[in-house]
Amino acid sequence: MSHPKYAFQNGKVVPWEDATVHVFSPAAKYGAGVFEGIRGYWNPDKEDMYLFKMEPHLERLMFSQKVMDFETVYDPEYFTKGTLELIRANDIRETVHIRTIVHIEGPGESSARGPVGTAITVVPRPLPKRVTTGCTAQVSSWMRSPDTSTPMRVKCNANYNNGRLAALQATRDGYDTAILLNQKGQVSEGPGMCFFMVRDGVPVTPSVTNDILESVTRKTVLEICEEYFGVKPVERDIDRSELYAAEEAFFCGTGWEICPINSIDKLPVGTGKPGEFTCKLRDTYFRIVKGEVNDHADWRMPVYGGNKAKAAAE
Ligand code: PMP
């Protein structure tokens, strides 16, 4: 994988190769870490990058550190400063994926609460093709980990082995990805993204008590549906068989963006092509996150301060 010149570790920008963790650390041995995935969207007209909804992501990172009982908790300000410094040091001028990481270093066992290390990486990642083409999904035979076990509401590294098993099964079986049911047998989410369907013209998504990550993108979709399309989505339990009755379906998340689902368990969703509402929603979402419209400026943090706009004004 090609990578940028620098990463950020324990308060400093460091050469990428030097950002390492010891094999004996609880982070490596037990997955004792929490993280956030955040997007930075490059806007070529404005010659700027916009970090999308930094605050809720970094608030969730604080929540994850609290629940995992880390002895030191790093706040949004620390990670915001570090992220801006890192992107500028790398001088990246394309759409990126940012990872903000907090984990347990040192030689401790699985219950060690410190020493707590931090890291940030930023790598170029263009929008995936599947946001246009759509994807295929398989209802996994792996169940979403329940809140009584390792809560999915916490963005803890180790949780991701649950989604990993489901994603591997799906790709082995010839699908793009998976939909996990929870222990009640209701739809939960994908390996790294939330689920929406449209029934009778109304967007429906599993409620936050269905073992999902309380996704920043999901909340954004709920807001966009009401504000731009005048339709109030419903947050409720979803039965498996409703997946086959849906007119449209899509995933949403930082990495998956808004991704239409064309078929589930090889049964077409609606026409078997990306749905009309899904596409309209996706296009509106991209216009906002890339800063192509002025709406919701508070959702976007500019990295370079709008160089071109500034130059034109001078
Ligand atoms: N569920 C899981 C398990 C995830 O890993 C993600 C990606 N962070 C999501 C949902 C979507 O969350 P967000 O919109 O905050 O990225």
∠ CA 19-61-206 to the nearest 5 degrees? Answer: 125
The band of 2, judged by pLDDT with boundaries at 50, 70 and 90, is confident
**Model confidence pLDDT, tens digit, residues 212-263:** 999 999 999 999 999 999 999 999 999 999 999 999 999 999 999 999 999 9
Cβ pair 180, 162 in contact under 8 A: yes
For the chain, the first-to-last Cα distance in angstroms comes to 40
Q: Is the model's pLDDT at 313 over the cut of 60?
A: no
Quick count: other Cβ atoms within 10 Å of Cβ 172? 9
Ligand 1 center to residue 257 CA distance, Å? 10
Residues in the chain, overall count: 314
**Strand runs (DSSP E) across 146-193, as ranges?**
177-181, 187-189
pLDDT for the residue 35 = 98
Ligand 1 center to residue 74 CA distance, Å? 20
**Model confidence pLDDT, tens digit, residues 182-215:** 999 999 999 999 999 999 999 999 999 999 999 9
C-alpha 265/C-alpha 139 separation (Å) is 6
**Model confidence pLDDT, tens digit, residues 24-60:** 999 999 999 999 999 999 999 999 999 999 999 999 9
**Model confidence pLDDT, tens digit, residues 145-159:** 999 999 999 999 999
Average pLDDT over residues 122-136: 97
Nearest by Cα to 147 from 87, 80, 207 = 207
Using most ligand atoms within 8 A of CB, pick from 164, 215, 251, 299 the residue to mutate for ligand 1: 215
C-alpha 13/C-alpha 83 separation (Å) is 10
Q: Is 194 a pocket residue for ligand 1 (Cβ < 6 Å)? A: yes
The band of 306, judged by pLDDT with boundaries at 50, 70 and 90, is low
Ligand 1 atom nearest to CA at 38 = 16
pTM summary value: 0.96
Ligand 1 atom nearest to CA at 254 = 16
Please enumerate, as own/partner, the contacts of 176-179 that have beta carbons within 8 Å and a separation of 24 or more.
Answer: 176/130, 176/135, 176/136, 176/137, 177/135, 177/136, 177/137, 177/138, 177/251, 178/137, 178/138, 178/139, 178/140, 178/142, 179/137, 179/138, 179/139, 179/140, 179/243, 179/264
Ligand 1 center to residue 152 CA distance, Å? 10
Q: Is 177 a pocket residue for ligand 1 (Cβ < 6 Å)? A: no
